[in-house]
Amino acid sequence: MRTTPAEGAIASIHKQWNPVTRRHGIFPHSYKELELSAEGTTLPGTSLPGTSLPGHTPDLKDLLQAGVHYGHQTRRWNPKMRRYIHGEAGGIYVIDLVQTEQLLNQASQFVGDIARRGGTVLFVGTKKQARDAVAEIAGKANMPYVNHRWLGGVLTNFQTINKRIKRLHQLEGLKAEGKLDLLPTKERMKAESELTKLNANLGGVKNMTRVPDAVVVVDVNAEEIAVKEANRLRIPVVALVDTNCDPEPIDYVIPGNDDAIRSCKVILGALGGVISNRHSEWQAEFEAQKAAEAERKRQDDEARAKKEAEEKERREAAKAAGEPEPEPVPEATWVGEAPKEDPEMPQRGGRGGRGGRGGRRKDQAEAKPEVTEDKPASEAEAADSSADAPAAEAKTEEKAEEKTDEKAETAAAKEEN
């Protein structure tokens, strides 16, 4: 029976040994029904078609050639990944690439929507196989990344991390200006060592000013702390999950091989391409909106300047004609009568409020007799008042004598008893 070129490519994939994962290539029998054209078919180890194109979504052929379907050994698996496993061959689990393609499209749409509205996606991959791919793809997408070491608290304690980021910018500024070379030898070596360490740990997130809107993770087991921090802050997590990982804490699971360089590059390239395209669209709209606002502001300034020039010309013409200049209207003037206070409204005092000290002072001020500027009393009134004085003294003496008699009678009654 004759074999087609596509079947020959499949047979070569069956027999190939993968030096990265140290496993034999496995191809599930159900995938033989896929229509793989001989044109453009490349074997593993050569350049992958479409991986360099921005926004290219890999199909089943690309995933197959990148070795995304390779799983871990059957004795090193997580039962929670059962639904993403197609079968087992040679003691190795084979991942269902049909589900991988569908879930990858869903994850790409999700991160694309975040980038479309100006959001930030953090790429995390500190293992050797994903380190270079993470830095390259996140850099092209203009997104933050962590590819050396995850510092605890990058998400949950971002305020402290932000201080170290500011220190990194400070040292970079000193180095760019050449001020580090002017320091003493000991201080210069210490500053350069600190700069190197900060660049290694925080170089990828030095432009991140806030907590990201989503996190893309490679190898859930290796980035366990990052996943826990994201779950604690309820940040969506998109992850490439192998057969030995727990998919429960992941919001968007992409089942696939996380131990191969090409597999990581294909998955991250698909996500990074979508993010780059959508972020560019948002950037273009933002720049257009910014330009429109600047144009509107310029037009308003021109209209204001034109109005001021016309007003100035009118005043100069009126002054040349000898007409009096109109008086400027004050900003706060009452047209008609001033508003009257409501008598039913209680008047609040000073510090005391309605019943405070200010209100009592006002009541006391109202109770005081008004000071008038009347003329002094006449001489006749003064004479009458002086004539009534002896009569008042006599009455006072009579009352005092009556009180003395009453006291004497009371004392006598007590002695008799």
Q: What is the CATH number of domain 12-36+57-155+211-305?
A: 3.40.50.10490
Q: What residues does 240 pair with on adjacent strands?
A: 218, 254
Report d(CA 228, CA 210) in Å as an integer.
Answer: 18
Res. 137: pLDDT tops 90: yes
**pLDDT, tens digit, for every residue of 275-321?**
999 988 888 888 888 888 888 888 888 888 888 888 888 888 877 77
Q: Where in the chain is the domain with CATH 1.10.287?
A: 158-210
158-210, what's its fold? Helix Hairpins (1.10.287)
Count helices and strands in the chain by DSSP H and E runs: 10, 10
CA atoms within 13 A on the CB side of 349: 15
Assess whether pLDDT exceeds 90 at residue 122: yes
Residue of higher predicted confidence among 133 and 379 = 133
Buried (b) or exposed (e) across 60-84, using 16+ Cβ within 10 A?
bbbbbbbbbbbbbeeeebbeebeeb
Q: What is the CA radius of gyration of the chain?
A: 46
List every span in the chain annotated with CATH 3.40.50.10490: 12-36+57-155+211-305
Q: What is the mean pLDDT of residues 29-49?
A: 35
What pLDDT, on the 0 to 100 scale, is given for residue 391? Answer: 66
Q: For residues 233, 285, 104 and 13, what is the CA-based torsion angle, rounded to 10 degrees? A: -130
Q: Which two tokens stand for residue 336?
A: 């008609």
pLDDT tier for residue 195 given thresholds of 50, 70 and 90: very high
Question: Roughly how many angstroms between the first and final C-alpha of the chain, as a whole number?
Answer: 155
Helix (H, G, I), strand (E, B) or coil at 123: strand
Q: What letter represents residue 365's amino acid?
A: A
Q: Which helix (H) or strand (E) holds 181?
A: none
Helical (H) or strand (E) element with 94: strand 92-95
Tokens 């090409």 correspond to 262
Q: What is the pLDDT of residue 51?
A: 39
Higher pLDDT, 235 or 28: 235
Mean pLDDT is lowest, of 6-10, 89-93, 206-210, for: 6-10
Dihedral angle over CA of 261, 266, 268, 273, nearest 10: 140
Nearest Cα to Cα of residue 49 among 264, 256, 266: 266
Cα 401–406–412 angle (5° rounding)?
A: 125
Q: Which two tokens stand for residue 257?
A: 């091989």
Question: What pLDDT was estimated at residue 37?
Answer: 33
Is the model more confident about 147 or about 417?
A: 147
What's the pTM value of the predicted model, to 2 decimals? Answer: 0.61
Whether residue 110 has pLDDT greater than 70: yes
- Angle between the 97-116 and 261-321 helix axes, to the nearest 10 degrees? 20
How do residues 323-359 score in pLDDT, each as one tens digit?
666 665 555 555 555 555 555 555 555 454 444 454 4
**274: enclosing H helix or E strand:** helix 261-321
Q: What angle do CA 184, 187, 190 make, to 5 degrees?
A: 145
Number of other CB atoms surrounding residue 260 within 10 Å? 22
